[in-house]
Amino acid sequence: MPNKKRIYYFDHAATTYVDLQVKKVMEPFWCTKFANPSALYASALEVNGVLNDARRSVAQILQALPDNIIFTGGGTESDNLAVLGIARKHKLHGRHIITTKIEHHAVLHSVEQLKNEGFEVTYLEPDSQGFISPKRVFAAIRTNTILVSIMYANNEIGTVEPIADVGKEILKYRKINNTIYPYFHTDACQAAGVLELSVEKLHVDLMTLNGSKIYGPKGVGVLYKRRGAEIQPLIFGGGQEMNLRSGTENIPGIVGLAKALELAQENRLDENMRLVDLRNYFWEQVYKKIEKVRLNGPDLGNESVRLPNNLNFSILDIEGEALLLYLDAKGICCSTGSACTSTSLEPSHVLLACGLPYEYAHGSLRFTLGHCNTKADIDYVMKYLPGIVKRLREISPINLQFDPKKNTHAKIHQR
């Protein structure tokens, strides 16, 4: 990782640096092998071959067919293409969509748009740790439901959703009712480097991936789309990507994404174990050295319940942005669910959906670990964090009563 003045990077769920092996495989496609893969001369055919290799490589990891793989301009575009694409293509069958309150905005704002176009949306509530119940998905399906979109793993609190079980419930519904609906989409951007991505085992019809969370390049993503699940494109033009995503292919990006996904999946089990240990050590230290802290999201466990690299906790009586700025002054990068860093002035929709009171959400911090982090980095954070908390508590007039076991809080503090 590049470092002039040493920074301590704990925001891998926001984005990652590009792995040097990934950078290396991208290198020839900037200035040397730059031809448009749609052209007919030899150098273009070579690039076209590289594009197909990348498609095959991604398909293999997903246990899918190469023509199931659509390369896009990133995770947001893939989510938009899945949600808007299915809805607009199948609106004559029905105009009802099911999603959750804790999705990424790429999904939430897409379904908001669909509401303007006359669709109805059911937002499933998570439990206090962010889990969505497969049974409740089944119960929410109506005869006019055309799409269910549920993320594989949550970016803020790391909850790993039971996607395979949701998939089974949807298959069950289709079988009982003898229908092809609803389609099932999952946003797997956060899960891609951590969890198994077999679409066969997950029973998904569409799946979003992107490069910038798995040590690959930014501005490139994948939408897996099962053969037979028809979608309407968002971008029209030269007919690239099976007519579903026009525009000259971002070859360096696609090659980089394919390599990054390959590396991530190859190393994920060892890396998961390392990150679980580090993350758990981090939380032990926080819990030991700082009073009035509360873990947000699932109990710390392995990657089947919570992303191994995710630590999200609330520090009471102080506000997240202020914490972030003091940490930044020490070269520490992390993020918060506080309203002050959002554009809406509302705190994290994910924490609120999990039943966290506003004042807890305002004081939340998220650390997401990655390749570059070591135990020494965590010790560095713990050298400063308790002092910063003490300082901000001196400045603050708040003294909340605190029960760490409770999710909710005395009524007067609630909305």
Partner 1 sequence: MSKIQKQTIHGRDGSGTAWLYSDIVKEHFFNPKNLLINGQEENYQADGMGRVGSPACGDEMVIWIKVDKKTEKIKECKWQTFGCGSAIASTSMLSVMVTEKGGMTLEKALKIKPQDIMKRLGGLPVRKIHCSVLGDKALRAAINDYFRSTGQHSRIITEGAKIVDEKLKITDHDIEEAVLEGAKTLVDVQKRLKVGVATPEAIPEIEQLIRFYSEKYYGT
Binding site for partner 1 (CB under 8 A): 317-322, 325-326, 328-329, 338-341, 343-347, 357-359, 362, 391, 393-400, 413-415
- The residue (of 108 and 300) whose beta carbon lies closer to partner 1 is 108
* Structure token digits, residue 331: 């070269």
- The residue (of 206 and 332) whose beta carbon lies closer to partner 1 is 332
Q: Is the distance from CB of 310 to CB of 275 less than 8 angstroms?
A: no
- The residue (of 164 and 333) whose beta carbon lies closer to partner 1 is 333
340 is catalytic: yes
Report the DSSP pairing between strands 145-149 and 183-187.
parallel
State the minimum distance, in angstroms, from the CB of residue 146 to partner 1. Answer: 27
Convert 380-402 into a string of H (helix), E (strand) and C (coil): HHHHHHHHHHHHHHHHCCCCCCC
User: If you count DSSP H runs as helices and E runs as strands, how many of each does the chain have, helices first?
Assistant: 13, 13
Q: Is 183 helix (H, G, I), strand (E, B) or coil?
A: strand
- The residue (of 224 and 360) whose beta carbon lies closer to partner 1 is 360
- The residue (of 181 and 326) whose beta carbon lies closer to partner 1 is 326
C-alpha separations of 250 from 29, 33, 147, 351 in Å: 9, 12, 29, 36
Beta bridge partners of 239: none
State the minimum distance, in angstroms, from the CB of residue 341 to partner 1. Answer: 6
State the minimum distance, in angstroms, from the CB of residue 392 to partner 1. Answer: 8
State the minimum distance, in angstroms, from the CB of residue 315 to partner 1. Answer: 12
* Whole-number Å distance between alpha carbons of 45 and 30: 16
- The residue (of 93 and 393) whose beta carbon lies closer to partner 1 is 393
State the minimum distance, in angstroms, from the CB of residue 320 to partner 1. Answer: 8
Q: Is the distance from CB of 137 to CB of 167 less than 8 angstroms?
A: no
Long-range contacts of 347-351 (CB under 8 A, 24+ apart): 348/156, 349/101, 349/102, 349/108, 350/101, 350/102, 350/130, 350/154, 350/156, 350/157, 351/156, 351/157, 351/296, 351/314
Residues, the chain, total?
Answer: 415
Residue in 354, 357, 358 with CA at minimum distance from that of residue 131:
354
State the minimum distance, in angstroms, from the CB of residue 143 to partner 1. Answer: 32
Q: Is the distance from CB of 189 to CB of 209 less than 8 angstroms?
A: yes
Which amino acid is located at 268 in the chain? Answer: R
State the minimum distance, in angstroms, from the CB of residue 367 to partner 1. Answer: 19
- The residue (of 109 and 168) whose beta carbon lies closer to partner 1 is 109
Q: Which of 334, 340, 354, 372 is catalytic?
A: 340
The catalytic site residues sit at 340
